[in-house]
Structure 1
Amino acid sequence: MTVEPSALRTTGGWAGGHAAHLEQALLQARALIESTVSMHRERQVLPSTVARNNIAQLGAAMEQLIGTARHSVSIALTGLGEFTESALRLLAGSPVRTTVRVLCTADAMQLCADRLRPIPESRLDARVTDRELRRLLVVDGRVALVPAPPHAAEGQFAVVHDTAAVRALELLLAGAWSGSRDLADHLRLSPRLRTELVRNILERLRAGHTDEAAAREINVSLRTYRRYVAEIMRALDASSRFQAGVRAVECGLLSA
């Protein structure tokens, strides 16, 4: 099914003096993302800059938006589902003329790594985060596609054209991007580094405990403790224990 241009086009636009118009657009976008804003207005509002659609139009809407990208495509992905599947299929199958930024949660990272391989590394910046993330697509900083929250009408999504509202959505994505880590680096980390024992060692390295005290606290021999420390530093490509602690946070092995 194709989406008629009118399904993606909104009327009006934000300019100085149109505060009510801007507020309406931001509230609608926030309601879809955060599920916390309800609209209870008794006054007349200007035409909306958020075009709502249903799940049958999702793939076509994403294809149209990505196909018009000139500079950048930024996307946040969580888990599996129609949004993630459509986004990865379109990104991998479309001629890459722009910078592609993908931020995903841990449950989507392997799928992202597999599907994004056709995109040249020079064009792709893929990262993973442990933070709470909302699905979102932003094209050129001028238009965004926002799926509805889980408890909203099934399959609903919105295409947001209002410049200020899109900017607000970009800031939400930038906040999630902060503290994320490179997807390829994350996948290269040995599963051995993700054990409870290694986390305990890393916490003590960060706290500055002596080897003797740390080994005693986690109930291993001093020799075993030092062997683990050497393996951790080698795996994290760290030249000092302090650097190992910093890298552990960057890689999500320790919370900040």
Structure 2
Amino acid sequence: MTSGEGADGERELDADILRVYQLRVTNPTDGLSRLAARAGLTPEEAARAEVRLLALGLLQRSPSGGWVAIDPESAADHLLAPVEQEILEKRIAMAATREQLLALSGDYVEARSLRSIRSSIENVAGIDNIRAVVDDLVRTCAGTLDVLVPGGGQSEAGIRFATPLDLDLLARGVRIRALFQHTARRHRATLQYMRRIASAGAEVRSSSTLPARMQIYDRECAVLPIDQEDTGAGVAIVRDPAILAYVSRVFDQCWADGTDVAEHAETPCVSGPSGTEREVLHLLAEGRTNEEIARLLGLSQRSVSRTVAALMARLDAGNRFQAGAAAVLRGWLD
């Protein structure tokens, strides 16, 4: 292309255009043919160069005829003034918007302080709202997260939501203790999730039964389930010191009765019980608690919890009642 034609030419000044511009500076009264001859161009090429220079503001028509070359600085001021004005207006609008948003900072801090009153209990309904609250709690959690996860296998959506949050907490040095039910170990996706967070540093245990789902952040805020018949899923965000102390004791007791997931083999053994295991099974069938079994047999609660968990895994039982029934069917209590 000559004289800067085409898409790229619109942005560049080639040698022909620059030559015509220089000649117009020194020979403003030359006709087109004379100018073209000086530049070594055809009249058509010289005309196209002048049109490009005119578009850039580098040439202006002279009242007496011919052309007047304009210095580049003046041409730039004239050509870019509208663009610069538009940029200035956008910057002013951006500054005004930023000022409006920053003006809300005080309201946000005040609202957070009200929300964080330690005697408050906040009800949150709807899965999206609950997840937004959990995101906020995870972001501000600094020390510990204690979790009870009752039931068997967890939903894939729940696992997808929880995994990155847990890994982020662990990466920040937050201590996570997660307690599942034994039946969760028989759900492949849940077991993989348990192992994944455990490999990242979480402490993961399982127990025969759990009272309710709960999450306790830094021992300062607890997320507890509530009945929401009309609105669907719902939780209570609890910061009341008395309630927090109670749910923390509940968690600690459940945690003490749990057994590390890593201690269990992937494939349950179906061999009969040993002497101690048989005694534990008999007391289990009588409805005795782990604490009572430990006292009657002179064992530690930790040892009893481990034995009960192993027996339930071998019997493929979801709770203590199912374990007793399965043991009777297998003849283990004869």
TM-score interval (norm. to shorter): 0.5 to 0.7
Aligned to 2:285: none
Residue 177 of structure 2: which of 101, 105, 128 is its match?
A: 101
Residue 86 of structure 1: which of 158, 161, 168 is its match?
A: 161
How far the C-alpha of 1:134 sits from its partner, in A, is 1.0
1:59 aligns with 2:136: no
Aligned to 1:180: 258
Residue 115 of structure 2: which of 3, 6, 10 is its match?
A: 10
1:70 aligns with 2:135: no
Cα distance change, pair 135–87 in 1 and its aligned pair in 2 (3 A) = farther
Instruction: Give the 3-state SS of the residue equivalent to 2:165 in structure 1.
Output: helix
2:158, 2:222 → 1: CA distance?
13
How far the C-alpha of 1:119 sits from its partner, in A, is 4.1
How far the C-alpha of 1:96 sits from its partner, in A, is 3.6
CA RMSD of aligned residues (A): 3.6
TM-score (norm 1): 0.56
**Retained in 1: the 8 A contact 2:117–2:239?**
no
**Retained in 2: the 8 A contact 1:92–1:115?**
no
- Deviates most, 79-88 or 131-140: 79-88
Residue 267 of structure 2: which of 163, 170, 190 is its match?
A: 190
CA offsets per residue over residues 35-75 of structure 1, 9 Å max, x none? xxxxxxxxxxxxxx110111221111111112211111111
CA offsets per residue over residues 131-168 of structure 1, 9 Å max, x none? 13311110110001112258685211111112221121
Question: What amino acid is the match of 2:308?
Answer: V
**Retained in 1: the 8 A contact 2:214–2:222?**
yes
Matches for 1:236-251 after TM superposition, within 5 Å:
248-249=307-308, 251=310
Cα distance change, pair 85–155 in 1 and its aligned pair in 2 (3 A) = farther
Instruction: Give the 3-state SS of the residue equivalent to 1:178 in structure 2.
Output: helix
1:69, 1:56 → 2: CA distance?
20
Aligned to 1:222: none
Instruction: Give the 3-state SS of the residue equivalent to 2:179 in structure 1.
Output: strand
TM-score (norm 2): 0.44
**Retained in 2: the 8 A contact 1:7–1:53?**
no
Aligned to 1:114: 192
**Retained in 1: the 8 A contact 2:116–2:239?**
no
Cα distance change, pair 152–124 in 1 and its aligned pair in 2 (3 A) = farther
Structure 2, unaligned stretches of length 5 or more?
1-107, 280-298, 324-334
Question: What amino acid is the match of 1:87?
Answer: A
How far the C-alpha of 1:173 sits from its partner, in A, is 1.4
Matches for 1:135-154 after TM superposition, within 5 Å:
135-149=213-227, 153-154=231-232
Question: What amino acid is the match of 1:114?
Answer: Q
Question: What amino acid is the match of 2:255?
Answer: W
Higher relative CO (CA 8 A, sep ≥ 6), structure 1 or 2?
1
2:112, 2:159 → 1: CA distance?
21
1:73, 1:11 → 2: CA distance?
17
1:168, 1:10 → 2: CA distance?
21
